[in-house]
Each structure stands twice: as structure tokens, then as C-alpha cells.
Structure 1
Amino acid sequence: MKRSRSINSPIRILILDDGSIIKKDEEASIPDRIFSFTTCKNREEALKILAEKEFDAIISEIKTPSYDGLTLLKKIRAENIKIPVIFFTENKNPEILAEAINSGASGYYIKRSPHQEITEEILEKVIESAGKTRYTESNISLISAVLDAVPGGIIASDTITKKFVFANEAICRTLGYSRDEILRLSLADIHPAWDMERVSGLFMDMTSGKADFAREVPVQRKDGTIFYADIRGSEIELNGRKTAIALFSDVTERTEAEKALDRKKEELDTSEEKIIQQLHQLSDAQEMFRESEGQFKHVIENIPISLSIVTLEGDVVYANPKAHELFGLNPDGSNYRGGAPVVWKEPSGRKLWLDGIRKNGVISGLQADFTTFSGEEKTLLLSGMKINYKNQPCVLSVHQDITDRILAEKALKETTDAFRTYIDNSYDAVLIHDTEGRIVDVNKKMLAMYGVTYEEALNHTIRDYSAPNKNMDDVRKIWRDVMAGNNRIFFWQARRPHDGSLFNVEVFLTRIELDNRTFVLANVRDITERKKAEKALYLANRKLKLLSSVTRHDILNQIMVFFGNLEFAIEDCTDENITEYLRKMKKAVMSIQHQIEFTKEYDDLGSKAPVWFSPGSLTFKDTNGIIPVKNEILDVEIFADPMIDLAFNNLYDNAVRHAEGATGIRITGRPDNEDYIIIFEDDGCGILDEMKEKIFERNVGKNTGLGLFLIREILSITGITIRENGNLKEGARFEMRLPKGVWRMRGDSHS
């Protein structure tokens, strides 16, 4: 029920009475300048009267044979009627009295006897809350008019319950709630749960006076989206209750300065009519200002907003503490006279301001530069209206300091221009996403790669750019990984939205920070041609492998024939000299046969993609207990050619053949800065210094001369190096160095 009466008019009381509360002669004895009574006998009659008339309070018995006052209370509260309800009752049951208070009763008074009649003294105490309610509403009406004229978001809450008691238009728009909805909320409803512990601490600091400013506090809108705000707040006393009042400044606007300015201009254009209406309401409230000037001044001087009243000639007649702080005004008012024109940096700006005030009575959203009395350069956003203050025409002004935002916008534009130059000249397609996965920017390469316009690119989603058979759960897992701070590289099948054509891409995702906001940058490289080349190389390798296999088979067949004939020739030859030559030929043929069979094992070298391999799972062929192996690498994986297992086996075979006196082999590993070192060592005779590098050359060694040479080749495919650095007579020591990116701890897929 809305009230609009003067606080000096009689207090209107609806009495639900069956004759036990007030008598006719008693009603006549109470002055009508103070009270105006309407009586009814049951709940239905009361509801009908409430629908037709306005009242300041209701007095009722809790329950009589004729009616149930408690049921009436619950009914009017359910219909959001906020009239104070006071029970004048002989019921002393504490449970019933508690139920009345919990149901929304303003209070109760116990009759001394069943026939006690209400007196003027009791009546004045009973309806005291009604008078307070009206007085409060007049104050809040005035304060609301002032705060609704402020472009920044303002919200006030009870310091004990943390429930909101006021919200201006700006904070309603920002959060997406109506004012009535916000007044049903509390502090925990507009901040994400994961930050409530910190937010509660900030609230306590501000209400206790320990702090008045908090940076980048996460705020949650009605639709669940998050934005970050700088909050300036303090504690005031409103109607005898401690109240926290806070000004919210949305700092997410800094990220896109030019768009933010355009949006601001649009908001100012669309809301100008509302601002004018609100400022007129403020003018109408001047009469009420005098009635509650003490409380109004207390609120104005404690809100975190700069506000001043200046004559048209430029004399400051009032400035609240925030205005003193902003402009460098002296507390004693010594620089009030003629102070306004002095701080304007451009006289033409002040002329434009005054012309707008004189012509329209109000002006809002004017940006101007100032030089304060302390010499600081500031840029302010101004709103004002013409008022009559102390019998002279003045301008009531609200000032918002946007200096930091302007500087941030300038710096951001410079950074953005440089960043734009970089991404537009990138070889790869670049897509920038916000934390929700929405595409907010792309470069020219992306438009060409996917065949879309810039506007289309921003309207599409990741799914639109992916092949239909791709599982988007994989993308979500990768996304969470990147948001946790891990860079990810992966292969993906992409799709062009217009024609549906598919192509292969390599994607690099990383998290970046731009002007205190988090984004995800995607570098996308078209690897279609590379895939074709890999496929062609794979087919060529298969053909070469087939040719090699056939050739090797034919050569081995011919060697077997040659070897058999040599055997016959040695048996039949009677000349010892010729027989010795034949034996040497046999040995050479056996060596050729062994080398050809040895190369068969390395037929697949480099023909397959590298894989992750765990040295802890190594098995060694034909050990037969010759030299025991102690493998201490259990928690590391390496990225290498699939033949890496054969490489380790050849190291073992090399020790068996050449490590004279060896009793054991040990495999260990350790990180070395960003690299990882694997040590394969024995306790045999060791290797001469002059042979440490030569043993890796082709055709060096007592067997085929290819073993260590091919081991180095296998490792080098993924950038792994190997060297021998043991000491003679202490054993051979092979050190393999794995660079960053080709090793990881087991189970860590992010490395």
C-alpha cells in the first residue's frame, strides 16, 4: 500500500473490534487531530476496507469468538501489505505471541484485565511504529531521489542482517533485478559462493571503518554472469539503524574502451528522460529536505559520492566531504568563493554546462577536464540540475572521477593497436575467447581460413567450427585445463560453416590477461597440406619397406646359395692355401648375412609417429642372468620413436658384448632444470677417452658397427641426445638428455 500524506496529518487506524478494544465514548475522547479511526467486526470486512482505503496501522485482538486477528495478519502479509499490525490482547501464551511476531506483527500489548479499555497513552505507544514508518518513508523518498540521479551503482544494506534496504536505478540495471527483487536479497545473493569468505571480510572492514575501498570484487548478476567492480563503501546511521552504503564501479568496461564509451553514450541517451524525471523529483523533494534535513545531511556527507551546490556565479555554497577530497577544497570554505570557475580547465566547458542548466534545468553525462586546487589533473563525468537553495538559484552537481578509466582506455588503445597489428600479421588464424567460451575477436587469417565475415565469426561457436563427429566433451576438458593455467596443443578436424567442408588443424591454446581480464587465445594452423605430405611419405615408406624386404630376401637367398657352395668347395679342396682363402670368403659372407639380418630390425625406423613410452616398463631380451639390470625409473614417460625399446635393448647388448668384468647394469634418472637426464651405466671396464665419440659413428665396433650409431639415430628423432661420459676401469656411462616437451611425469598429460 503506497502512502503519500503529510507527516502532520492524523494517523489513520483500522481497528478490528467486536467491542472489546475501544468504546464509542472512548473513541470520542481521543483528539481527531492525532488519530482517525475506522472499525470493522471480522476479517472479511477488514480486507474489503483495506482494498478501498489507506491506513497507517491496524489494531486487533489476536483471537476472539468473532474473528481471528492472526489469520488476518498472515493474509495481508501474503499480499505484501506492509501496514504495521499491533495486537492489544489478553492472550499470554508465549508460543502464540512468538508466532504473531514471526508472522510480521509490529508488536503486542497485554491487557491488565479482560475489560481493560484502550487509553490515549496506550494508543500513542501502540501506533508509534506507524508514525515512524511514515517519517522513514519521507526520508527514504528524498534520499532515493538523490541517489537515483547518480550514474554509478549504489546499494545499501543492514549491517547486522546484510539484507538490502535500498538500491538505485543504476545498480538495478547492472545486476538485472528490479528494485523490489533486490530488496528481497542479501549480500550473499549478488556475490559468487567461491568468493563469499573474502567478500564478508571486506564488508566487515568497511562497516568497521578499517577500509573504504575494495578493488575488483566479483559480482554476480541475476542471469548468473560475473563482472568485476571496484567498491567504495562506508557505514551510516539511518533511522536509528546502522546501514552500510556502497558505490559499485564496473571495471570490466576498461577492457574495450571504445565499445564501453559507445555503450555509455547509448545508456545516457536512452536514460536521459529518466534522469530528468529523477532530478525533477529531487527538486520536488526540497520541501521534504527541510523536514528531515539533519538525517539527509548525515546521509549525503557519508555516501561515497562527490556532491556540491554552486551558485550560477560560481560560488560554492555546499560541498560534501567527497567533493572536498576530489577538488582539494579547504575544510574551512576559504576557497569556496569563486571556486567553481577556477577548477574548470576549459572555460568553454563551464559555459556549455551552464547553458545546458539554464536551458533545460538539468544536464547529465557531461565529460570535462579539471585542475583541482591541489594541482591534480582530473577528468570527471557530471550530472546536475538547477535548484533553489537558500533563496538563490544554484546548481546541484554530482561528480564521478573517471580519470583512471580515461588513462586506462588510452593505454588499452595503444596496447590493443599493437596487439591487433600482431594478430593481423600472424601466419596462423587467431581466435580470442572470453572465459565463457564466446568468441570476442579474430584476425584476418581466421576469416580467410574459415570463409566467414568478421560479424559471422563472432556469432558462431566452437561447435560451428568443428566437424560433426567431434566430441565437445573433449573440448570442455581441454578448456578447463587451459583455464587452470596449462597451455595445450592438440589436433582437430575443423569445419567451414558455409559449405561444411572439413580440414585438419593444429590448435595451440593459452590463457592471456588483457587489462585485468582473462581471455583464451587460440592459434589455429591449417595442416591439410602437411597431412597430405605425411600420407604420401607413409605410402612411400611402405613401398620402400616392401622393396627392401623383397631385396633383402633375394640377397639372403643368394648368400645361402653362395654359402653352401663355399662349404662344398672347402670340403673338396686339397690345397691348404686355397682352403684358407675359401674360409676367409666364408667369414665375409657370414658377416654380410649378419648385417643384412641386423638392418631388418631397423626397417621401421622413423616410419611411425612418436609415442609416449615408460622406461619403467622396459624388458631386455636374452638376458639369461648374464648381467642383472636394476631399473630405478618408475615415474617418468618419454616421447620417442616406437623403436625406443630396441634402442635400450641394444645398449644392454652392447654391455654384454663389451663390458668385460661387469656385474650389473643400473638405469636412473633426474630432472635437470627443464630437461631430464637418463643414465644407463655398467660397472665393467669402461671406454677409452679417444673412443667416447667414435663409438657412435657408423662401422665402428667389433660386431656390425651399427648398434650405437642407430641408437643415436632413434633418439634424435624427438631431439634426445646421447653421449658416453664414464671413467675408464669404472664402467661405461651413457647419458641421455631429454629436452622440455619430450618428457613428463607419469599421469601428467599437461606437460
Structure 2
Amino acid sequence: MSGEQKGIRILHVDDESSFLTLTKSFLERGDAGFHVDSATSAEEGIMLLKSGNYDLVISDYRMPGMDGLKFLERLRQDGETVPFIMFTGKGREEVAIEALNKGANHYMQKGGDLKSLYGTLAHAIKEVVAKKRAEEALQKSEEMYRTLFENTGTAMMIVEEDMVISHINDEMVNMSGYSKDEIEGRVKWPELVMQDDRERMLKYHRLRRSDQEVAPKSYEFRFIHKQGDARDASLTVTILPGTKKSVISIKDITEKKRMEDELRRSGTLYRTFFEVTNAPTVVLNEDGTFYRVNKEGAKISGFTKEELEGKKSWTEFIANAEDLERMKNIHRLRRDNPDNAPMHYEFLFRDRYGNLRNIYVAAALIPETKKSVVSFMDITERKQMEQEIQSILESVPTGMFFIDFKDPDGRFVRVNKALAERYGMKPEEFKGKTTRQLFPNDADNYIKSDRRVQKSGKPRIEKIRKITTLEGVRWVRLDKVPVKDADGKVIGIIGSEVDITERKQMEDQLKESELKFRTIFDRAVDGILVVDTDTKRFIMANEAISRMLGYTLEELLNMGPMDVIPKEQQPQRREELEKAFTGEIKGMPNIPFERKDGRVIYVNINAGLMKFHAKTYLAGIIRNITEQKRADEERERLLSELEAKNTELERFTYTVSHDLSSPLFAIRGFTSLMREDLEQSETENLNSHLERIETAAVKMEHFLRDTLQLSRIGRVTNPPEDVPFGEIVEDALEQTSGELKANNVAVSIAEDFPTVHVDLVRIAEVLVNFITNSIKYRGDQPQPKIEIGYRVDDKGTVFFVKDNGIGIDKSAHEKVFELFYRVDTGGEGTGAGLAIVKRIVEVHGGRIWIESETGKGCTVCFTLPVR
């Protein structure tokens, strides 16, 4: 629309014709410059927009077929930029937000004082249209400038204050290799600049916006072509007057720089060798700065080569002071007396991100220079493994040892603290000694056992046996595992000596009272488990828990609490169990236990600590609450269903209130117009206004009638009975026989219908509705047809009424069952029929849906309880 046009042409879209008339009257009376055209559907509005120029569109939200949001979305998808105001009675905040997000210019809610409402609307219209016209004028001036920008013959670009490239010309496209779509609005200019030029150019960019006179206007830099290669360029730049935007012209001087680059390539052979090695390698200057860094060297540091070479010192990567001082001394010694400087050593390395690594170094001085070449090997994993093994050995209470088979009698290489202290020794006293030296009395048996492991190559568990230590007589279990080299040869053993004295003593003591306790223990209805708080293993279990979990008692006594907890629940339950071991909690409700057969049951545990012979145990009484839990879950399911019903009721209430508000709004509006006409003694429109008020009142009456009928379904019913479905079909056809004959409709009926258990009157009402709809929407068929039948598929027995009428678009298949939805907004009725039908079918426990395409007839399918 031209910015010179004074009047404003408005297209108003709303399915309520009375509201269209009301809006047109108020707007055109209030401002002679307004001209309002009306459309009763979004589809009609689209046709009018194609045939005429409009400055603005006003649209309702809730309309049959295409609603206001879809109408707006369709316009924007088609490239239509006409301003759009959503003017609706649906006042929810999420609708306003969605409308504005989809491109609406304004959002207003119907209601309140009419003069104030339409005054606000008129002001919004003028404001939105004025803004649109100003934008169009600005666009014309920008197009003129763009023509000059595109035809200078020099590569040019415009850069915003945030460094985003907003425009480039064709010459810049040719120079950079990028298309305009790839650059404009997507790329910041530093992305096209080589790394070592970026900081300098960023400084110029900031300076140009703070002190334009000081900032250089011409300089050289290297930019990155799309193909990835660097190009040398000279640049001229200035600021667009009155803005923060830069206009930049660029000239490619790559060829000029080529000869200079050739001179630098003389060192290619050296650098190639330097780069291809897989080991991180660097060359250091005498002052400790990096002279050269290969790819792997840069990678391990976390920096780029450009960030390292000539800028950083190796001392910045030393993690601790002790290593730093030692390595500085080595660095100086290598330059003063290379033969005495160590070539290999280790240190702790810290990369750019603070990650620590153990590094093995190989270093040497480059002949005839003060530069040294240094290669690194990352030995972090090896160090961690050594530390982890040592940490494990020292932390476990079990005695651990490693014996090397290089000596025929077996020589101890390492033992942990727990084992050494058991025999009154220190770990270092074991190291290097043979089994015969340490245990002369038992050496033959020990060595014989070790040889069995060496020969078989398999782990061995020694029987429980009695030994004498500083603590007196102890009972232990000895486990041995073979250690093999890369060829599979057994070169030693790792052994663990577990002290089970306390367990054995407890077992002996428990036997004394077992006969008295066992009767009560085994006859208990609830399951009982006793856990050793140190080993976290079951030491007692009764028959009830055995039956509950499906394990034998022997199996349970080789298990612990975590063995019966489902894997996914173990992290959470482990914390609860630890609290029970300390007495912090006693009750553990709703705990999942996994039976031997994999089924999960739920139990309540009442646990308590007990002391026996100076040891603490946790005893738990376990009650199976699986059935109770299922009952609770069923209650929750019923509550969830109730919540869903409440949600459905809320949606129903909203729909009714919205559709009843439209005729009320029309009555108020035309009453207001009549009052104004009477005040001005204008009576020519009174009859027209009264007719519209009467129409709105009748519409409201029909809405209320259908709403009442829908609410009675499920409350006012006839007792269901077994009825052959064919009899219901005959009843419905008899009720509609007059309409069928008058419209020359051919009806075909299936044979051998099944018997259904239903309210006969209500289901006949359902069929009558389907038949009358098929007649009403038969279209211009020369021979209308209706087929009533059924089929049996994966949904069970499905009844259907099929016609060859105009059909229903797929987008409306679910909407037609909404209360007061009408496919034909110009037809009679309130649109409640199919909502009532759906309710009847659902009350019978059935489902209902539509299978149809526009122009290909319609099939309504539904299910009922079949005998």
C-alpha cells in the first residue's frame, strides 16, 4: 500500500456476522478515513486479500475450519506482510503470546465498554499502519543505496557494531568464495580473519567507534577463503555517518605476497620431519620460550601453535614448584655442560585447562645452537594405575601380597600394611624374601599350593585354616590368583588372606543358642534377615524370607542386601542402608526386592542394631507389601482418571462460556447501537438491529438446549439390554424414512449384525444423527448412498455409517466432535450433535472416529459392547 494514501482499508474476519456489522459501524462512524470489508471465515479472507489491497487485517481467534492463529500463520508462510491484529474473546495469555510470536502486530480482547474498546482498536489500527508505511519508505531509500553498493567494482562489505557482516557485494562474493546467504547476518568478520591478525583488527574495530580520527583507515591483513586457504589483502574502512556501521573495501594482494612466501619455504624439509612425528615435540629457545611446536605438542598443551611459538615459556606448564626448580637447573646445565645434563626425566605437566598429566621427557641440545629439542611421552595412565594399585593394597583390610616365581621358592615383591602387621612386621621387611625364609615351618605347604596355581594357571581358594599371629590363633581363608606375562606364562601370584576369625567364633557361639532361637525364627510370618555391619553380608535368614525371595537359605547366606535390590535402585538404597547400619534410621518403607525369578516385590523393613560378642549386627523384619502397593497404585490411577475428568469438565465449561458469550456480545452491541440511534432520532435501522438481537437470543436458546442435553447423557439413561443391532438400525431408518425418500437416498444394510448390550433409545438416536448428517452433506450427488454395516479388525467389532457425500477434511476429523463446532458456519444448528453422539458412545464404553477425505464421502466408525 502506498505511503501517500490517506485512507485505511481494513479486512475484518470473524465467523459471527453480527459482530462484523457491529465493528464496521463503530469504526466507520468514528473515523471517515476507515473503510472496513468483512469475511466470515479465514478462507474467504485469503481470497479477499488476493483480490484487493488492504492496509490491515483484524481477525477473531476461535473460528470453524481455520482458526485465527492458523490464518495468521498461512498469511506469513505465503509472504503476506500486511499488519495483523488478533481481536478475540479468547483472552488466555498463551494465545496472545503465540499470536505475537507468529507475526501478529497487536492483540486485543473483546469485552468491556464498547466505546472505549473500539476507540482503543481505532488507535491501534492507526499506529500499526503508520509504522508499516514508514518501514516501506525506509526500504525504498535502502534499495537506492544498495544499487550504488553493488556496482562499485570493488569488493565491499558492511559490518555492524557487533561485528556481524550484514551486507557484501558481488565482488566480495568472488573474492571470498562464499555466497551472500552464507555470509550475510550469519558470520562475524573475525571468522574470516587469520588468527594472528584478529586481535589487531579487533582493537581497530573498537577504536574506530570510540575515536574515529585515531583509528587507521587502511592496513593489510590475511583473510580466510572459503576453501580454507589464507589470502593477503589490503583494506580501506570508514564509518557510515550517523551509525556504528563500517563500510569496508578490500583488495586481494595475494600474488604480491607470493614471492615473500617462497623465501619462507626453504625450511620445509625440517618442519615436515618435525611435524610428522607422533610424539609431542617442541624446540626451546635459551630463554625458555617455545621456538617451534609440532601438532601433537600443541594438542597436549591445549593451545594452538600460534599461541605458543615465541609467546609462551615451558615454565608455565610445570605443575609444582619442586619440578620447576629441578628442570630449570637441567635447562641451564644442558647449555653449560650438555654431557652431564640428564636426557630423560619425569615431571607433572599442567595444560591450558588445568588438567594434570605425568610426562616422561627426552631432551637434547641442537648442535651449534643454544636451542634444545624436547619430546614428551604421556605416562599419566601408567602412573595412575600404579597409584591405584598401591592405594587399593594399602586401604583394604584384607592382607594382600605379590610373589614372583623367578626364585624357585617364590620371592615376595610387595605386601600391604594389613598383612605385614598381622605378622608383626613392616611391608618392607617382606620385600625380596622367600616364602621359606619368612615361614620356615609352613613353607612346604605354601610352596606346594603356589606351584599348583603356577601349573594350572587358574585361581585357587585355600580351605579355612588356623594360623598363629601376634594376636593369637586366627582363622583365615587364602585366595590366590595367577599373574601372567604377554605370552600367557604364569610369572607370579597375587594373594589375599582374609581373617574370618570373628565370623567363625560367632558361628560357634550362635550354635549354642540356635535350638532355642530357631523355632521362633523359622516360624515367623514375616521375613527376617541379619546382616554383618562390617562385611555387609547376610549371616542369618528364615524360611519366610526364603519363600518371599525364592532363594534357598544357603544361597541367601552367600549374599548381601545389595544383591536383592534391583540394579537401578542400588545407588539410592545404598545410602539408606548405610544410615541403618549406624542406627540413624530404623524404618525403611516401600523398598524394592528382586526375587530370584526376576520379579520385583515391595517390602517394609523394620530394622534395628544388636550387639553380640562385641560385634554389631543389623536385624531386619521384612513384610511383603506388594499387594498393598498395587491397591495404592490402583487408587492413584482412579485419582488420575478423576483429574482427567475434571480437566475435560474445565474444557467443556470454557467452550460453553465462549460460545454463549458471542450472542450476548452481539445483543449488547446492537442494543448500544439502537440507543445511539434513538438518541439521534434515527429509526431506519431499528428493525434490522432488533432482528439481529432476536437471532442472537434464539442462537443462545439453542446453545443452552444442546448443552443441557449433553449434560444429561450418562445421568438420565434407560437400563442397557441385549439388542440385535439390526433392530436398532431398523428403528433409526423408520425415524428418518421421510427425509430419505424426499432426497432419493439409497440405503444398504449389512446382514447378521451382532447383538449389543446398550440403551436402545440412545443408540438409535446416534444412528439417526449419522443418517441425517449424511443426507444434509450429500452434496450434488445424482444418487446419494448410505451404507450401514460393521467389520471385525484389531479394534474388535467396528460399526460404521458410510456415505458418498462431500466428505470432511482430515484437519477437522477430531474437531467435529467438539461442542458447538460447525463445519458449515452458514448452516443451521449449533454444532452440538456430534458432541452429544460422542458422549453417548463413550458412556457405553465405546470409541468413535471419522475416516474421510474431502470430496470422497465420509465414514463414521464406532464401537459398542458386543455380546
Length-normalised TM-score, structure 2:
0.28
Length-normalised TM-score, structure 1:
0.32
